Structure 1
Amino acid sequence: MVYAVVRAGGRQEKVEVGTVLIVDRVAADDKGTVELAPVMLVDGDTITTEADKLSKVKVTAEFVEDLRGPKIVIQKYKNKTGYRKRIGHRQELTRLKVTEIK
């Protein structure tokens, strides 16, 4: 079993070939692929975490779609002053499918 832990969007995700993951918005190249930075690689019984060996490892993902997260409502309120403020936020996201780990 081969899997990798990659750094994607400020978080670390465990991925295998065929895994679909949602990360913060990233731009794909002309071919629609994205390189993810590996933090750890597990190949059967071998675990690789050293930076010089991980520099040779490539985790490639295919761009699937851009999407937006759920709406988050932020409200501020101060008692007895009439101050109320309401704003919202939707995070820009990208769905990726891991195609190869080599």
Structure 2
Amino acid sequence: MVYAVVRAGGRQEKVEVGTIVTLDRIKGDKDGNIQLAAVLLVDGSTITSDSAKLAKVKVTAEVLEDLRGPKIVIQKFKNKTGYKKRQGHRQELTRVKVTTIK
């Protein structure tokens, strides 16, 4: 069993080949592929966490689609002052499928 923990969008995700992950918006290259930086690699009973060895590890993923997350409503209110503020936000996301871990 081979899996890796990759850094993507300020978070870390555990991925295997074939895993579909939703990340913050990432632009792919002209073929729609991206490279993810590995933080940890587990290959059977071998665990690699050395940064020099992890620099040689390549985790490749293909972009499946760009989408937007759910709407988040932000409300601020102060009692007895007439102050209220309402704001919304939708995060830009990218869904990717991990194709190779070398």
TM-score normalised by structure 1 residue count: 0.99
Deviation at 1:18, TM superposition (A): 0.2
The residue identity in structure 1 corresponding to 2:77 is Y
Q: Distance in 1 between matches of 2:88 and 2:40?
A: 36
One-letter identity of the residue aligned with 2:3 = Y
Residue of structure 1 in register with 2:60 after alignment: 60
CA distance in 2, matches of 1:57, 1:81: 57
Counterpart position of 1:16: 16
Distance 1:79 1:42 in 2: 54
Give the SS at the match of 2:52: helix
Paired residues for 1:1-102 under 5 Å:
1-102=1-102
Question: How many residue pairs are counted as aligned between the two chains?
Answer: 102
2: CA distance between counterparts of 1:29 and 1:72? 30
* Counterparts of 2:41 and 2:69, CA distance in 1: 29
* Alpha-carbon shift at residue 81 of structure 1 (Å): 1.1
| Fraction of identical pairs, as percent | 74
Letter of the 1:23 partner, please give it.
Answer: L
Amino acid at match of 1:34: I
Gaps of 5+ in 1: none
Work out the CA distance in 2 between the residues paired with 1:60 and 1:35.
5
- Structure 1 stretches of at least 4 aligned residues deviating more than 4 Å after TM superposition: none
5+ residue gaps, structure 2, are none
| Amino acid of the structure 1 residue aligned with 2:41 | L
**Deviation by residue 1:14-68 (Cα, 9 ceiling, x = unmatched):** 0000000000000000011000000000000100000110011000000000000
